[in-house]
Amino acid sequence: MSEKKKTPKSESAALRADIREHDRRYYELEAPTISDAEYDALQARLKSLEQAHPELRSPDSPTERVGGGVSSSFSPVKHARPMLSLDNTYNEEEIRAWNDRVLKNLPAGERPSFILEQKLDGLSCALTYENGRFVRAATRGDGETGEDVTENARFVGGVPERLKAAGREVPQSLEIRGEIVLFFDDFQKINAEEERAGRPPFVNPRNCASGSLRQKDPQVTKRRRLKFFAHSYGDWRPEHGFSSHSKFLARCRSLGFRVEPFLMASSIEDILSRYHKFRDGGAAKLPYAVDGLVVKVDSFAQQRRLGFTAKSPRWAVAFKYPAQQATTIVREIECSVGRTGTITPVAKLEPVFCAGVTISSVTLHNFEEIERLGIQIGDRVLIERAGEVIPKVIRVVEKAKKVSVIVPPSKCPDCGSPVVKEEGLVAYRCDNPSCPAQLRRTLEHFASRPAMDIVGLGDSAVDQLVGKKLVKDVADIYGLKKEQLLDLELFADKKADNLLAQIEASKSKTLDRAIFALGIRHVGEKTAETVAERMDLDALLNSSVEDLQALPDIGPIVAKSLHAFFSSLIGKDLIARLRKAGLKMPKPARMIAAGAPFAGMTFVFTGELKKSTREEAEELVKSLGGKASSSVSAKTAYVVAGETAGSKLKKALALGVKVLTEDEFLDIINRKG
């Protein structure tokens, strides 16, 4: 300190600056220059000054951020805009198809610039800053609502407590999204410690990062040395001062965030050559886990034109790296009964680590596959796993010494009913429509995360509910009473309340989830989304096979399967009971494109448009957060007048509403980036 007299105010200011600098060295530079004890002494001195002089306290003081059981449990945080996921592509054909779709949806001749980032294998997190100060961190959760992990995120490297101004004004409010990861070397150290303490090791860095962030005690998070990399944002406004993703990332860096190195590409050929370089070595050299490239259209104006589906942006895609392989021993073959009674042989394996996870079982699909692969118990097999794709057996690499023959069961392993094999089909099925195993699978699927997302209705709860005959189909879930749940094993008061709250919350899930949850044959998440975006539930109940087949990407088999369900008495009755239980199953809201610059504005189109159809123009307005209407009033923001515009144009002029030509309208849209 200088000769100037030390006042409590000046001393506390100096201590805060010191502590922040030591935090930076510890968390950001990973090169602390003082011991933990010296650091603690600085904290203690500051705390005592603040206690003696309450006027010196401030919510962003380092003393407010330390231990002392700051956080207890996590409260829910509703995301201002949903945290979406990315579509995946796995090969050249798929990424080319994505590129073709992008080009087709941009004005003819417009060539987008692409930005390539690694797809970090961590957990996503949204950080909110107000007036440059860190105020909140939330996990992704179900994409709509996450958990408040603010206190713990303060101990994640690369989460600045204050944004750096770097010669510019910091945005008043800003939500930065990114990935929290654990570097491989830190992961190994943590696992070594866990084993020393007699605890089971974490299966992969991602799980470990997730467990470390969602801790009751922020001090545990602190010790785990997690790191945050910025890759996207929650809201966007012109005053944030970036008009493309690359500019956004550059701004993130200057605000004090870590950003992974990124590359630009100007064509699909460029994308492919860069992808090959990473796939064939570059990615493996990184100190953290990645499972593919993320390809994004750089310009925000073009991103807006491309828009979103219900779950992901059309302007970005993941291009996954291929599978990784390992060998292990088959210990036994178990048979599991699926939702439709199909009996699937599953190989139980000597646990083996592959592509970031420990694998201990793998489905063999059917008994023909066992024959084709020539698998016997005790064989050493080569398995493969790509990203989150389920692992599979490629071939036997070493035969077992003892010969054993695997035969299909003659009785259902669950209910003991006879097993049948239909003519021409490979699968063996349990013939009992009320087989409890089938019902269990149906319920588990209904409650699963991409379906109705009823946390707490997992295998063990489902087992008991079916065992006690409390639930005979999915609609019965909604009639469950607290006393019934309290009767189940391991269900105490709080757990029962939580499950009932989850069941209640699932009543407002959207139609796409409900369609998927019903487990209709051949209907996956994507199909459910396509249908729900275009038909409401009543339309679906009254639709013909032709109506369904007219939807994009829906072929005759899927259309028939959907129709068979929604026109059947059982299907109609189930839907009626779900509705009666209070499920609304609304169409999913259209995703609003970044920033919603037209929020609150109404557009009216009149006359004949030349460059796009009226529907397309209205879609554009909606994708920017605006509304389209067919009647002009004083509240109309703009009337877009094509050729032959008549009475609506006159009314607009009379009311003084701004009138645009089609070109002027497209200009505005393009400038909104």
Q: Which stretch binds ligand IVH (CB under 6 A): 308-316, 399-407, 587-595, 636-644?
A: 308-316
Cβ count within 10 A of residue 161: 17
Query: Is 206 in contact with 122 (CB distance < 8 Å)?
Result: yes
> Please, what is the Cα angle at 313 between 265 and 170, to 5 degrees?
80
Name the minimum Å distance from CB 318 to ligand IVH: 6
Query: What Cα–Cα distance (Å) separates residue 428 from each residue in 340, 375, 407, 431, 561?
Result: 11, 18, 11, 9, 21
Q: Does 206 bind ligand IVH (CB under 6 A)?
A: no
Binding to ligand IVH by CB under 6 A, coded x per residue (else -) over 437-476, reads ----------------------------------------
Q: Provide the pairing of β-strand 627-629 with 602-606.
A: parallel
Task: Considering the complex, state which of residue 299 and residue 328 has its C-beta at the smaller distance from ligand IVH.
Answer: 299
Q: Please, which residues have CB within 8 angstroms of residue 524's CB and are 6 or more apart in sequence?
A: 516
Task: Considering the complex, state which of residue 179 and residue 662 has its C-beta at the smaller distance from ligand IVH.
Answer: 179
How far is the C-alpha of 542 from the C-alpha of 566, rounded, in Å? 8
Task: Considering the complex, state which of residue 231 and residue 509 has its C-beta at the smaller distance from ligand IVH.
Answer: 231
Q: What token pair was written down for 350?
A: 């000597």
The helix or strand, by DSSP H or E, that contains position 97, with its residue range, turns out to be helix 92-105
User: 371-390: which residues touch ligand IVH (CB under 6 A)?
Assistant: none
Helix, strand, coil shares of the chain as percentages rounded to 5? Answer: 40, 20, 40
User: 86-145: which residues touch ligand IVH (CB under 6 A)?
Assistant: 86, 117, 119-120, 124, 140
Q: Does 527 bind ligand IVH (CB under 6 A)?
A: no
Name the minimum Å distance from CB 518 to ligand IVH: 25
First to last CA, the chain: 49
* Amino acid at the residue 238: P
Query: What Cα–Cα distance (Å) separates residue 61 from each residue in 149, 208, 281?
Result: 18, 29, 45
* Amino acid at the residue 16: R
Q: Which stretch binds ligand IVH (CB under 6 A): 7-15, 81-89, 461-469, 494-502?
A: 81-89
Task: Considering the complex, state which of residue 341 and residue 387 has its C-beta at the smaller distance from ligand IVH.
Answer: 387
How far is the C-alpha of 129 from the C-alpha of 131, rounded, in Å? 6
Q: Does 205 bind ligand IVH (CB under 6 A)?
A: no
* Catalytic hit among 5, 6, 119, 277: 119
Classify 292 in phi/psi space as left (phi over 0), alpha (psi -120 to 50) or beta: left
Task: Considering the complex, state which of residue 294 and residue 454 has its C-beta at the smaller distance from ligand IVH.
Answer: 294
Q: Does 549 bind ligand IVH (CB under 6 A)?
A: no
How many of the chain's residues bind ligand IVH (CB under 6 A)?
16
Name the minimum Å distance from CB 538 to ligand IVH: 31
Task: Considering the complex, state which of residue 132 and residue 158 has its C-beta at the smaller distance from ligand IVH.
Answer: 158
Which of residues 206, 231, 314, 385 is near ligand IVH by CB under 6 A? Answer: 231
Task: Considering the complex, state which of residue 66 and residue 125 has its C-beta at the smaller distance from ligand IVH.
Answer: 125
Q: Does 294 bind ligand IVH (CB under 6 A)?
A: yes
How far is the C-alpha of 321 from the C-alpha of 460, rounded, in Å? 35
Q: Which residue has the tokens 């579509």?
A: 87
Binding to ligand IVH by CB under 6 A, coded x per residue (else -) over 150-179, reads -----------------------------x
- What backbone torsions phi and psi does residue 40 show, to the nearest 5 degrees? -60, -35
Query: Is 148 in contact with 77 (CB distance < 8 Å)?
Result: yes
User: 315-344: which residues touch ligand IVH (CB under 6 A)?
Assistant: 316, 318
Name the minimum Å distance from CB 248 to ligand IVH: 11
Q: Which residue has the tokens 């966007």?
A: 236
User: 20-49: which residues touch ligand IVH (CB under 6 A)?
Assistant: none
How far is the C-alpha of 301 from the C-alpha of 86, rounded, in Å? 19
Task: Give residue number: closest CB to ligand IVH.
Answer: 124
Q: What one-character-per-residue DSSP string does 619-661 give?
A: HHHHHTT-EEESS--TT-SEEEE-BT--HHHHHHHHHT-EEE-
Q: Does 85 bind ligand IVH (CB under 6 A)?
A: yes
Q: Which stretch binds ligand IVH (CB under 6 A): 168-176, 312-320, 369-377, 414-422?
A: 312-320
Q: Which stretch binds ligand IVH (CB under 6 A): 190-198, 309-317, 340-348, 440-448?
A: 309-317
Q: Does 84 bind ligand IVH (CB under 6 A)?
A: yes
Name the minimum Å distance from CB 87 to ligand IVH: 8
Task: Considering the complex, state which of residue 139 and residue 602 has its C-beta at the smaller distance from ligand IVH.
Answer: 139
| Residues forming beta bridges with residue 407, ordered by sequence position | none
How far is the C-alpha of 258 from the C-alpha of 260, rounded, in Å? 7
Task: Considering the complex, state which of residue 19 and residue 289 has its C-beta at the smaller distance from ligand IVH.
Answer: 289
Task: Considering the complex, state which of residue 178 and residue 607 has its C-beta at the smaller distance from ligand IVH.
Answer: 178
Q: Please, which residues have CB within 8 angstroms of residue 64's CB and are 6 or more apart in sequence?
A: 57, 58
| Residues forming beta bridges with residue 117, ordered by sequence position | 294
Task: Considering the complex, state which of residue 84 and residue 437 has its C-beta at the smaller distance from ligand IVH.
Answer: 84
Residue 119 appears among annotated catalytic residues: yes
Which of residues 89, 139, 152, 232 is near ligand IVH by CB under 6 A? Answer: 232
Name the minimum Å distance from CB 316 to ligand IVH: 6
Q: What token pair was written down for 58?
A: 């401030």
Name the minimum Å distance from CB 585 to ligand IVH: 25
Q: Please, which residues have CB within 8 angstroms of residue 442's CB and are 6 or more apart in sequence?
A: 339, 473, 474, 519
Q: Which stretch binds ligand IVH (CB under 6 A): 311-319, 533-541, 602-610, 622-630?
A: 311-319
Task: Considering the complex, state which of residue 119 and residue 251 has its C-beta at the smaller distance from ligand IVH.
Answer: 119
Query: Is 135 in contact with 54 (CB distance < 8 Å)?
Result: no
Q: What token pair was written down for 604?
A: 């009216």
Which of residues 112, 141, 307, 313 is near ligand IVH by CB under 6 A? Answer: 313
Three-state DSSP at 67 gives coil
DSSP secondary structure letter of residue 182: -
As a dihedral over the C-alpha atoms of residue 180, residue 183, residue 184, residue 187, rounded to 10 degrees, the angle is -70
Binding site for ligand IVH (CB under 6 A): 84-86, 117, 119-120, 124, 140, 179, 231-232, 294, 312-313, 316, 318
Could you give the residue numbers annotated as active site? Answer: 119
